[in-house]
Structure 1
């Protein structure tokens, strides 16, 4: 009888213990599992970091991205315009004056032992060069920076000019007042050489009031 009671009394206690163990197991299973720290990828090893870095550097490192780099120019220097390039290739306009009694030491010797010396005023291109060069003589004074201008005492103006690739033709109008016999070759040399140099001609035909320069100077010489 005693043996049966001990077995019967132990039954409820065993069930209680089993139920407690089951509750503990269920609570353990429902708790979230913690992730190990070493399982997360490093910040610099991810795919996004690897793809974004080269894209951010692409505009700065790509060849030819800097304006002018493909032509060997430094950054910030603009490309030269066609007008600027053409202007740099055009020689300056030159007007010719006289160094009296210089004997050819500073220029081409001519006339009364004088020298023909070029001076470069501001000018343009094409017909503008011819007009500017002739204007440097016709609108100038008799004294030009230590040089003599035999045309400076006259009242001539430039009418028109043309160039056919060989001969330059210039039309002037007004009055010509040479100061002496030596001024006649000076006037001829100044006008002729200035016209030739302006357009690169090899011959100059100059007319004053419709008369050829040579004939005009002959008339002036005869009247003296």
Structure 2
């Protein structure tokens, strides 16, 4: 059987037909704006680009400043100001009142220290006690009792009071450390040279016993007793 033959013209015509069909066929759809935007958005999301620095100056925030305070710096919060109440200094109102005997000293002439401490001229100074009396400061009552005694002899004891003729008044006393200072006013009236240490001993020992001091100084009208009783 003989196949039909294709002439060169026929083949050329078929090729030309295919070529024209490819050129005049339905064009491919152009991308829409929405698709382009989506693509751009997707591209931007996938590959974020760094933000370029701007040339605008940055204004620093103002630093907070604490308001001035008159209170001194402290780690603790300041509280309300308290006004200190002045404390009154205690006032000495005197010694409490008590009752007891007073100790008064007299002289044992020529005793040579047998009955008590020895003083000048070989005499002794001897302690005696009174009946109980009420007092607050024992020094004043003791010196007052001694000075108001106007008898030379002290009962039947054999003791002598060499101050019996003197006109002396107790003014006051002051305890300075272990020394009692006694202040008198008036005049001495003594019987001789040996009465000088006797008078001093009576006053000083009586003052020391009343105050508990270990030494005494006597002043008469502001002058030391040694100056007043001197033989100058």
TM-score by length of 1: 0.54
2:120 to 111, 117, 120: 111
C-alpha root-mean-square deviation of aligned residues, in Å?
Answer: 1.9
Matched residues in 2 for 1:157 and 1:124: separation?
20
- Per the alignment, residue 134 of structure 1 pairs with 143
Q: Which runs of 5+ in 2 are unaligned?
A: 1-96
Residue 212 of structure 1 pairs with residue 221 of structure 2: no
Give 1:93 deviation, angstroms.
Answer: 2.0
What does 1:87-166 correspond to in 2, within 5 Å? 87=98, 92-121=101-130, 122-127=132-137, 129-140=138-149, 141-145=151-155, 146-166=158-178
Give the paired residue count: 132
Deviates more, 1:165-174 or 1:183-192: 165-174
Residues 181-208 of structure 1: CA deviation (Å, up to 9, x unaligned): 1000001111111111101012212111
Rounded to whole Å, the distance in 1 between the matches of 2:120 and 2:134 is 31
Q: CA deviation at 1:125?
A: 4.4
Query: What is the deviation of 1:118?
Result: 0.6
CA deviations 1:80-132 (Å, max 9, x no partner) are xxxxxx958x6x321100011112222222211111111112444442x1111
Larger radius of gyration: 2
- Separation in 2, partners of 1:190, 1:172: 14
Match of 1:185 in 2: 197
Separation in 2, partners of 1:165, 1:87 = 23
CA 123–168 in structure 1, closer or farther in 2 if over 3 Å, else same: farther
User: 2:229 is paired with a residue of what secondary structure?
Assistant: helix
What is the TM-score of this pair, normalised by structure 2? 0.52
- Structure 1 residue aligned with 2:20: none
Of 203, 208, 216, 2:215 maps to 203
In 2, Cα distance between equivalents of 1:199 and 1:163: 8
> Take 1:142 and 1:131, find their aligned partners in 2: how far apart are those partners?
21
Gaps of 5+ in 1: 1-85
How far apart, in 2, do the equivalents of 1:124 and 1:162 lie?
A: 20
Q: Structure 1 or 2: larger helix share?
A: 1
